[in-house]
Homo-oligomer: A and B are copies of this chain.
Amino acid sequence: MTAPLFHDVPRFPRGFRCASRNVGLKPSAKDLTIFVSEVDAAAAAVFTRNHFPGAPIILGRETIRGGRLKAIVANSKVSNVATGDRGVTNARRMATAAAMELDTTAERVLVSSTGVIGVQLPVEKIEHGIVGMAAELQADPLVGAEGIMTTDTHPKALSASVGDATITWVAKGSGMIEPTMATMLSYIFTDAALDAATLDRLLRQAVSGSYNMLSVDTDTSTSDTCAILANGLAGAVDEAEFARVLAAGCVRMTEILARDGEGAEHLLRVTVRGALNEHEARRIAKSVLNSPLVKTMVHGADPNVGRLLMAVGKCFECTIRPASTDAWINGTQVVRGGERLEFEDAVVRNTLKAEVVDLEIALGVGEARATAYGCDLTKGYVDENASYYSS
């Protein structure tokens, strides 16, 4: 993991602050967050490709067309998905309530909701609960991260410098996570001066190798949102360096989200190299990452290497040559030419107990590579999801 890039304690770029509160959606935990920029910011966003997008996604696609945002308002507990026209009306009311509190217009407010699907949003609680939050704005991004948690075990924020500017990531994840546009909710703030079109391009590049290679459970959320806001208060930055730091931070946040996947005890990274093309590298890396038999093997620290080959081999449409396929578990080669190597069982078993497990597959058919990010499959995942709706 790339460590020195990130600040020891995450902080906001110039001009950004946040607040969070309990407004009565959850019994007592924080359930509403606002992020605010002092001045309007250039903005871009990517959203879930699920065919049943939540009401905030439907509204958000409209909002982001303007390319400018002053604030984000997000609630947890109820995702406002599968709620019909009333859901969209409620999302608009939420934007309006935030705009009134923050002295801006609803068109400058991005709305997100996360939590259970198929329940109408208690929008009055949000309208009443948000009043006075502008007076509570503060400089710690973890405060905002806390208000958007669902089954996350900790709030998630990161920050890094690019020249004189700062980039800050705030996200939540945990379950129903295999984004194909963005993760559950991920907000990126910067004081660099970049226009909306540039932000959009850089965001899509960064997301491609990070959030879009993340999978906790193959289930693509109906609420995925990744937005970036640049308020320009730090002036211009070197675009190449900005892109590099943006991508690195998205990868690091992806690792944090994977490690905190529902029930997870390990961060699992699967790297495929020597693939015919990038599409196949990504497809095969995801196949290994998502295999329940690989995930339980990592959970049990059981070096059942045949499962790696199985999970590569079930990508029927990909170019795979058993005779040139090699594999490694945390640096120890376990497969050569499609055959299981003799290896020190105890050594591999021990390395599988590490918090981070790296599986590497070399296909020997081309030059493309990809890395996918996920976690082990545990009884904790089953426990959390056998009664999520009721709990």
Q: Is A50 an interface residue (CB 8 A)?
A: yes
Question: Which B residues are CB-close (under 8 A) to A117?
Answer: 304-307, 309-310, 340
Binds B, one of A135-143, A213-221, A234-242: A213-221
Q: B302, B315, B325, B340: which contacts A386 (Cβ < 8 A)?
A: B302
In the complex, residue of chain B having the shortest beta-carbon distance to the beta carbon of A389? B304
Binds B, one of A22-30, A95-103, A105-113, A374-382: A374-382
Contact A310 B377, beta carbon cutoff 8 Å: no
Q: B81, B217, B219, B322: which contacts A52 (Cβ < 8 A)?
A: B322
Nearest chain B CB to A214 CB, angstrom units? 14
Q: How many copies does the complex hold?
A: 2
Contact B297 A84, beta carbon cutoff 8 Å: no
Question: Which B residues are CB-close (under 8 A) to A83?
Answer: 339-340
Contact A387 B338, beta carbon cutoff 8 Å: no
Question: Which B residues are CB-close (under 8 A) to A118?
Answer: 304-306, 309, 339-340
Total interface residues in chain A, CB < 8 Å: 67
Question: Which B residues are CB-close (under 8 A) to A304?
Answer: 116-118, 388-389
Q: Is A300 an interface residue (CB 8 A)?
A: yes
Question: Which B residues are CB-close (under 8 A) to A318?
Answer: 51
Binding site for B on A (CB under 8 A): 49-53, 79, 81-84, 116-119, 175-176, 178, 180, 217-222, 290-293, 296-297, 299-300, 302-307, 309-316, 318, 320, 322, 325, 335, 337-340, 377-379, 381-383, 385-390
Contact A176 B377, beta carbon cutoff 8 Å: no
Contact A219 B293, beta carbon cutoff 8 Å: yes
Q: B50, B290, B340: which contacts A314 (Cβ < 8 A)?
A: B50
Contact B176 A293, beta carbon cutoff 8 Å: yes
Contact B217 A338, beta carbon cutoff 8 Å: no
Contact B385 A312, beta carbon cutoff 8 Å: no
Listed A/B pairs (6) with beta-carbon separation below 8 Å: A51-B322, A84-B339, A116-B304, A217-B293, A222-B309, A292-B381
